[in-house]
């Protein structure tokens, strides 16, 4: 699996020497749950990601990007034409943004 979000989380947490227990209580969840989030066994909720960015003093954008990237990765990793899928999506986003104006 990919889990770039969880990895980054651990990186930041280690750098600040904060135990999982502390972040868990901050998010008001079990340490087990937090552990799973970090390992990629569970997905954090969007608001939790933002909260974490706050405590870890990172930009929410950074974490949200990694968090979303993991979700996308899970979808396309199984597919043969993974990279092509990304291209299709990219094209459509551009189109959508054009129409939006």
State the binding string over 28-67 for DNA (x if CB under 7 A, else -).
xxxxxx-xxxxx-xxxxx--x-------------------
Residue 29 binding target from DNA, its own copies, none, CB below 5 to 8 Å by type: DNA
Give the integer Cα–Cα distance in Å for 66 and 73.
10
Find the farthest-apart pair of alpha carbons in the chain and give their distance in angstroms, rounded: 47
- Looking at the Cβ atoms of 21 and 71, the one nearer to its own copies is 71
Nearest distance from C-beta of residue 71 to its own copies, angstroms: 5
- 83 touches its own copies (CB under 8 A): yes
- Interaction residues for its own copies, span 11-70 (CB under 8 A): 61, 64-66, 68-69
Residue 72: C-alpha distances to residues 23, 32, 53, 68, 99 (Å) = 25, 25, 20, 6, 24
Nearest distance from C-beta of residue 55 to its own copies, angstroms: 21
Instruction: Give one word for 87, left, alpha or beta, with left for phi > 0 and alpha for psi -120 to 50.
Output: alpha
């Amino acid at each position: 699996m990919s889990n770039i979000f969880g990895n980054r989380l651990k990186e930041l947490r280690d750098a600040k020497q904060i135990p999982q227990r502390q972040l868990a209580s901050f998010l008001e969840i079990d340490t087990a749950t937090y552990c799973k989030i970090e390992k990629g066994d569970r997905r954090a909720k969007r608001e939790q990601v933002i909260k974490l960015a706050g405590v870890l003093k990172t930009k929410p954008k950074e974490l949200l990007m990694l968090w979303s990237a993991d979700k996308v990765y899970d979808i396309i990793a199984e597919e043969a034409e993974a990279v092509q899928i990304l291209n299709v999506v990219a094209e459509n986003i551009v189109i959508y943004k054009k129409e939006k104006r």
